[in-house]
């Protein structure tokens, strides 16, 4: 067998190129355009199906205690606004018919400055939005006042407790000082008296400081109560109905276009059918010599109707036959494998029609049926049951003969049997199974043609099939594609440099 020019099988990442996806998007433009229009209509109609939301805001001016960090204080205020205590008080304040959880879900607080916080409330009607924002503002101020009063009262009680303790200490010191004053005027006694007086003076100073701190805390509380107030009463946030309609429509349009494009792109990537001609050619490394519409096989009385189609081929099968004849005439040794990918009927009908045509022209023809289910043998009315290579002469009274060899289930038995040498044409109909490989074809043929049916054939399956043929040293000459997209604008042509064929010096088939 002559040397074979091996080509590196393309990876799927190289096969699925951007231009292939672009071609799929162009071909199926109706899908994503329709999805965009539907999204536009749905988006613009949302206000009819879903009640419109109205929002109202109220701005509060809040006092910050002296010596406090304004950022931390305002963060605490926003956290206080989102508490259930404020929500319950707002519901009571505004006579709102909702749960605290619902109220908090429709409200929010935003810090505008170190002293200003904005309260926002959303509802299904303008009046509810304003009432909710107003009730929240009042409830927040009341809750903040109560929390500040509790905090101040607790601090004041602690300070007064310290003052009481200090006063008790001062009373004890006064008693000691009085007793030391009537004592003798010894030096030691005078020093003790001075120490007691100094200690009493320190305690009195601390009492004065604590009393001043109490006054400051009470003053801050009163100041906060008088300073914190509603700066801007609750009012609706102005929204243009036309602007809302436009934004909803544009959002729906963008979402619809995105969904449509995703459907088209993922459909092209994960479709169970073969992609466009260009991608098929690049995947298999062979040009698409013919592309036809989808093959539709018979379902009722399948065997009888297929046998009838074999004897009287339709125009599509005749076109397949002519392409196979052209490849057979230039194949080394006039031997050609026809590989069925997908539905096996078109390949079997094409091989059978070509074999009958060559036989009728007076050529010695050998056909090997190694395809799944041995469909070609079935079309000729045979029911092979042997586990060895079977040979049948069709028809029995003719000369020269048309011989049909039915391959055994084990491909290695076919590989061990040498091909006949008394033949003018050798056709091998086969399917590729990764479990067996394609090495059993190498003793019989060196070139092949793929008949690819779109249904059920993925890029991965094509890529594996090409690799199996390459490993077996079989050159793939061309592809016949069935079920191609009528809107496919790609050519399926492959550059001669990318097509590795078995070197051959073609001679005309004997007439």
Where residue 470 sits, what CATH number does that domain have?
Answer: 3.40.50.300
- Yes or no: say if 428 and 335 are a contact pair by the CB < 8 Å rule: yes
3-state secondary structure 147-170: HHHHHHHHHHHHHHHHHHHHHHHH
* Pair (43, 145) in one structural domain: no
- Please give the pLDDT value at position 183: 59
Q: Does 352 map to a domain?
A: yes
Q: Does 469 map to a domain?
A: yes
* Pair (345, 483) in one structural domain: yes
Domain C-terminal end among 268, 284, 314: 268
* Pair (104, 162) in one structural domain: yes
Q: Does 147 map to a domain?
A: yes
In terms of DSSP bridges, do strands 475-482 and 288-292 run parallel, antiparallel, or are they unpaired?
parallel
* Pair (165, 189) in one structural domain: yes
* Pair (259, 206) in one structural domain: no
Residue 466 CB neighbours (<10 A): 21
Q: Does 227 map to a domain?
A: yes
d(CA 479, CA 452): 7
- Please give the pLDDT value at position 11: 45
* Pair (348, 479) in one structural domain: yes
* Pair (40, 140) in one structural domain: no
* Pair (259, 226) in one structural domain: no
Q: Does 297 map to a domain?
A: yes
* Pair (35, 154) in one structural domain: no
* Pair (293, 309) in one structural domain: yes
* Pair (310, 225) in one structural domain: no
Residue 25 CB neighbours (<10 A): 16
Determine the 3-state secondary structure of 6 from DSSP. coil
Global confidence as pTM? 0.52
Output the tens digit of pLDDT for each of the chain's 511 residues.
Answer: 333 334 444 444 444 456 566 767 777 788 889 998 998 888 877 766 666 778 899 999 888 877 778 888 889 889 989 999 999 988 888 888 888 998 999 899 999 998 899 999 998 888 888 999 999 999 988 888 877 777 777 777 887 888 888 888 878 877 777 777 765 454 455 677 777 778 888 878 887 887 777 776 676 666 666 678 888 888 888 766 677 778 888 888 999 999 988 888 887 666 544 467 888 888 888 999 998 888 777 777 777 788 788 888 889 999 999 999 999 999 998 999 999 998 888 888 999 999 999 988 888 899 999 888 888 888 888 877 777 788 888 764 555 678 888 888 888 888 888 888 888 999 999 999 888 889 989 999 999 999 998 766 777 888 899 999 999 999 999 999 988 777 677 777 876 655 555 554 444 444 4
Q: Does 132 map to a domain?
A: yes
- Please give the pLDDT value at position 189: 56
Q: Does 9 map to a domain?
A: no
d(CA 400, CA 362): 6
The domain of 250 spans: 26-48+242-268
Domain C-terminal end among 187, 222, 241: 241
What is the per-residue DSSP string for 378-416?
A: HHTT-----SS-EEEEESTT-SS-EEEEEPPSSHHHHHH
CA dihedral 473, 479, 484, 487 (to 10 degrees): 110
Token look-up 């300073």 returns 227
Structural domains in the chain (count): 3
* Pair (199, 91) in one structural domain: yes
**Paired residues of 425 in beta bridges:** 365
Greatest CA span in the chain, whole angstroms? 160
């Amino acid at each position: 067998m002559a040397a074979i020019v091996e080509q590196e099988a393309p990876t799927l990442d190289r096969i699925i190129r951007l231009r292939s996806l672009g071609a799929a998007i162009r071909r199926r433009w109706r899908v994503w355009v329709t999805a965009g229009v539907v999204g536009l209509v749905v988006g613009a109609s949302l206000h009819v199906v879903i009640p419109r939301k109205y929002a109202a805001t109220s701005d509060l001016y809040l006092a910050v205690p002296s010596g406090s960090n304004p950022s931390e204080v305002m963060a605490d205020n926003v956290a206080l606004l989102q508490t259930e205590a404020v929500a319950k008080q707002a519901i009571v304040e505004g006579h709102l018919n909702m749960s605290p959880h619902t109220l908090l879900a429709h409200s929010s607080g935003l810090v505008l400055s170190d002293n200003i916080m904005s309260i926002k409330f959303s509802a299904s009607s303008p009046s509810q939005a304003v009432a909710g924002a107003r009730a929240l503002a009042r409830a927040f101020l009341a809750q903040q006042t109560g929390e500040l009063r509790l905090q101040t009262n607790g601090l004041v009680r602690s300070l007064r407790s310290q003052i009481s303790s200090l006063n008790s200490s001062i009373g004890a010191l006064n008693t000691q000082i009085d007793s030391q004053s009537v004592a003798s005027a010894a030096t030691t006694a005078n020093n003790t008296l001075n120490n007691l007086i100094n200690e009493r003076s320190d305690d009195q100073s601390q009492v004065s400081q604590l009393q001043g701190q109490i006054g400051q805390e009470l003053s801050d509380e009163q100041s906060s109560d008088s300073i914190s107030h509603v700066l801007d009463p609750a009012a609706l946030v102005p929204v243009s109905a036309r602007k809302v309609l436009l934004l909803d429509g544009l959002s729906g349009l963008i979402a619809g276009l995105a969904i449509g494009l995703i459907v088209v792109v993922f459909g092209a990537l994960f479709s169970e059918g073969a992609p466009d001609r260009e991608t098929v050619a690049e995947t298999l490394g062979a040009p698409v010599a013919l592309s036809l519409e989808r093959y539709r096989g018979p379902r009722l009385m399948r065997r009888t109707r297929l046998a009838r189609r074999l004897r009287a081929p339709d125009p599509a099968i005749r076109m397949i036959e002519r392409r196979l004849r052209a490849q057979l005439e230039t194949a080394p040794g006039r031997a050609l494998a026809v590989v069925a990918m997908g539905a096996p009927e078109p390949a079997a009908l094409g091989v059978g029609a070509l074999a009958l045509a060559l036989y009728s022209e007076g050529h010695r023809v050998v056909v090997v049926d190694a395809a799944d289910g041995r469909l070609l043998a079935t079309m000729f009315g045979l029911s092979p049951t042997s586990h060895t290579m079977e040979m049948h002469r069709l028809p029995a009274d003719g000369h020269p003969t048309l011989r049909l060899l039915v391959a055994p289930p084990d491909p290695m038995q076919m590989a061990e049997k040498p091909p006949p040498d008394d033949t003018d044409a050798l056709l091998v109909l086969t399917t590729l199974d990764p479990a067996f490989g394609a090495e059993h074809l190498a003793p019989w043929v060196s070139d092949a043609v793929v008949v690819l049916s779109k249904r059920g054939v993925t890029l991965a399956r094509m890529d594996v099939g090409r690799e199996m043929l390459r490993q077996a040293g079989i050159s793939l000459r061309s592809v016949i594609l069935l079920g191609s997209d009528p809107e496919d604008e790609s050519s399926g042509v492959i550059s001669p440099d990318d097509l590795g064929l078995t070197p051959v010096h073609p001679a005309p088939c004997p007439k």
